[in-house]
Amino acid sequence: MKIAIQNAKIVAYTDKSEVIENHTLIVEDDLISDIIPDSELNKKYSDAELINASGKAIFSGFANCHTHFRLTLARGIFENESPSNTPPFPGIPRKDLPKISKEEHQIMILLGALESIKAGTTFAMEVAEGIMDYADAVQKSGLRLVMAEQMSDRMYGSYGEPGKIESDPKRVEAGIERMNNLYSKWHGHDNSRITVGLAAHAPDMNSPHSLNEIRTLQDKLGVVSTIHLNQLWGEVQNIIDNYGTTPTKYLEQHDFLNDKLVAAHCRCMSKEEEEILGKFNSTVSFNSAIAARRGLSPNIKDLEGFGCKIGMGSDNMDENMIEVMRMGMFMERVRTNHGREPHPNEVYGWATKNGYKSLGLENGGTLTKGSKADLIIVNLLQPHHAPQNDIVSNWVHMGQIHDVESVMVDGKWIMKDHNVLNLDEEYIVNEANKIAKKAWGY
Ligand SMILES: [Zn+2]
């Protein structure tokens, strides 16, 4: 099966100079097999299905390095209930997430997947406990996924809350079992569109024993790992109180840091910790929207300078990576008092190529020959995309969800002309509203 996408501007990589015109992009099976001058199409690929993308651009789809689809349930509530950034921690408690049934839970997960696809995400790392319960439903969306099964073993209290950290070894055992089961059933599924990752919750939620067990399993399976790191000042205080060190040093002491680790947040961090994380070439998932909502910001340029890879994630905010890119760029400019850096080319690279690499796929996140056919078609014939002096800059500064017309993952369309093909949009949105209304009582 060959698909030829014609007449579009092809954003091969991150740079303005790498926008290719008057060429046709060829998809064969799961790969971008060729990018050829239009004049050669009939000679070389007369059998391909033709897609006319005149007035449009082909961009790489986004890699969302950190999300929790189920937390769509907390929309409209958690955004305004962040913990305190100064003692006493954690400050005014937020509402508990209501208990809902497995079936209801599944709808909220699909709502997150739906929203992701509509905003141009092609690859996401979903972090949660108990992914097995909804793995089949969410993988049917057609998204490329790292299913990162999470484990924590802190018995009393939660992340960012003070108190003596005591481990429940049974939870470690159960967590490792869940990780192994998920790996056996789903890792490598559908041409490796689905892979499994291993998640520790947070330094103040995971004992040295649990970190060791996850790291040992990671080395055995050769997969990516993840953790919420230096997320809150309450976490930092808690690690100092319990272990007499800082969160990143605590992870270093217990051999958790490595180059296949995606560390989410990294906001409440000392220079020494940034340097340590950089030394291990770990990825920082820059979750800009949730960082901004909490009134916190990671030192992205410094972390990158020390050797960290920078990816981007939505966390439990809008599953909209266009906003994540834009907000991340603006936050860094405000933080560093610099009106030119980071440049949109760089931010686009964080949200695409870097993310793919960090989530374990080397040949993805670019539109080059041999790359995975994970791409989006964006309508440029709209006021906010004109004039087209620099379409990458426009995409980062001005892009909107509705610009995304079609989404392809692994050579297959999962959204075509705004229709999400594998999910029932109307049903999911209506059900999600009903579920939330019942759960919260609003
Ligand atoms: Zn998170």
Give residue 9's pLDDT.
97
| Average pLDDT rounded to a whole number, residues 245-268 | 98
How many other C-beta atoms can be found within 10 angstroms of the C-beta atom of residue 198?
28
pTM summary value: 0.98
432 CA → ligand 1 middle, Å:
21
Q: What percent of the chain has pLDDT over 90?
A: 96
Give residue 17's pLDDT.
65
| Average pLDDT rounded to a whole number, residues 149-169 | 96
159 CA → ligand 1 middle, Å:
11
Structure confidence by residue, pLDDT tens digits, 280-316:
999 999 999 999 999 999 999 999 999 999 999 999 8
Give residue 13's pLDDT.
84
Structure confidence by residue, pLDDT tens digits, 89-147:
999 888 999 999 999 999 999 999 999 999 999 999 999 999 999 999 999 999 999 99
Please report, to the nearest 10 degrees, the dihedral formed by the alpha carbons of residues 272, 274, 277, 281 taken in order: -130
Of 158-162, 264-268, 377-381, minimum mean pLDDT range? 158-162
313 CA → ligand 1 middle, Å:
9
365 CA → ligand 1 middle, Å:
22
Give residue 16's pLDDT.
62
What does the domain layout of the chain look like in residue ranges?
Answer: 1-442
Structure confidence by residue, pLDDT tens digits, 397-438:
999 999 999 999 999 999 999 999 999 999 999 999 999 999
Structure confidence by residue, pLDDT tens digits, 35-45:
999 999 999 99
Give residue 442's pLDDT.
80
93 CA → ligand 1 middle, Å:
18
Give residue 98's pLDDT.
94
| Average pLDDT rounded to a whole number, residues 344-358 | 97
183 CA → ligand 1 middle, Å:
21
68 CA → ligand 1 middle, Å:
6
75 CA → ligand 1 middle, Å:
14
Give residue 280's pLDDT.
98
Give residue 204's pLDDT.
97
317 CA → ligand 1 middle, Å:
10
341 CA → ligand 1 middle, Å:
27
Structure confidence by residue, pLDDT tens digits, 10-52:
999 866 668 999 999 999 999 999 999 999 999 999 999 999 9
The architecture (CATH level 2) of 1-442 comes to Alpha-Beta Barrel (3.20)
Question: CB under 8 Å to 103, separation ≥6 — which residues?
Answer: none
Give residue 1's pLDDT.
84
Distance CA 29, CA 32 (A): 8
Sign of the CA dihedral with 125 first, then 126, 131, and 137 last: negative
Give residue 94's pLDDT.
87
Between helix 391-398 and helix 321-336 the angle, nearest 10°, is: 90
Residue 377 predicted with pLDDT over 90:
yes
Give residue 15's pLDDT.
65
Give residue 271's pLDDT.
98
Q: What percent of the chain has pLDDT over 70?
A: 99
